Amino acid sequence: MSLTPRLQPSALVGEVPRQVKPKKEAAAIELGWPGFCPRQPRLVLPIFDDSGSVSLPGGGDPVGNRYQEALLAFEALQEWCSCGKCLAGVLHFDSPRGDVDPGKLRSFTFQQHLTQGLRVPRFAAGSSVLGPSLARAEEIAVSLPKHEVRLVVLTDWQLFDNDNILDRLRSFPGAVLAIGLNADPPAELLGDDIVSLRIGHGDRPGAVARALFGELTVGRRGRRFIGTPDRDSAAEEAPK
């Protein structure tokens, strides 16, 4: 054994990699910059599946954090809506329990409502049925003809609906982002107005927040979007 003291390498100047772990993962999630309001106002409407296969430990929810991540995305828009027409809402599979009707993203009071709605509703039945919340989404879309409605369905797609729910989803009057929580969305869903996205346990934290932020900022002028690569090309089209 040598007793010669070893020289320690001096710290590299300039590029010392930082390995500081953030206290909360949410704090490390970067979404980008929302940009300026589009000419046609829009409503972004997520539908959450709270059934056991998603909500319980080991279920399809990738980081157990989908609600907090959704809130991050909505909050990112609050300061940047100047038109007052950018809307959001929340629907749950056990509609209307825990639902939040559409409201203005820039309103502080409405953001508080969103916070209330972005959790598993109390006494939720945990049904695996999309139909009731999809019916509510259709009603909302019809009631807001001047808005572009963007529906985001977050589920593991283990659905127990009786009728042909996928056909109904395909004919939804608006854009649909079908997110598969640790599952692939059904291949039958692929269509012009439907984009499918799988978010799995292996994805880094923030995948749900980025997906929603992408929907919230599609067509917003000047936005900078740190998103999943396969969404970028579709999402960065010139504003109409």
- Binding residues for Zn ion (CB under 5 A): 37, 81, 83, 86
Residues in contact with 142: Cβ distance below 8 Å, sequence separation at least 6, in sequence order:
173
**Which DSSP string do the residues of 12-59 spell out, in sequence order?**
PSS-----PPPSSGGGG---EE--BPPSS-EEEEEEE--SHHHHSTTS
Nearer to Zn ion, 56 or 83 (CB): 83
- In the complex, the smallest distance separating the C-beta of residue 83 from Zn ion, rounded to whole angstroms, is 4
- In the complex, the smallest distance separating the C-beta of residue 147 from Zn ion, rounded to whole angstroms, is 11
- In the complex, the smallest distance separating the C-beta of residue 81 from Zn ion, rounded to whole angstroms, is 3
Sign of CA dihedral 53, 55, 57, 58: positive
- In the complex, the smallest distance separating the C-beta of residue 197 from Zn ion, rounded to whole angstroms, is 25
| CA gap 174, 43 in Å, rounded | 10
- In the complex, the smallest distance separating the C-beta of residue 235 from Zn ion, rounded to whole angstroms, is 18
- For residue 123, the number of C-alpha atoms closer than 13 Å in the C-beta half-sphere is 2
Q: What SS3 state is found at 130?
A: coil
CA angle 96-34-17, nearest 5°?
A: 110
CB 225 within 8 A of CB 211: no
Sign of CA dihedral 104, 105, 108, 113: positive
Nearer to Zn ion, 94 or 215 (CB): 215
- In the complex, the smallest distance separating the C-beta of residue 77 from Zn ion, rounded to whole angstroms, is 8
Nearer to Zn ion, 85 or 136 (CB): 85
Nearer to Zn ion, 82 or 164 (CB): 82
Nearer to Zn ion, 86 or 159 (CB): 86
Nearer to Zn ion, 81 or 153 (CB): 81
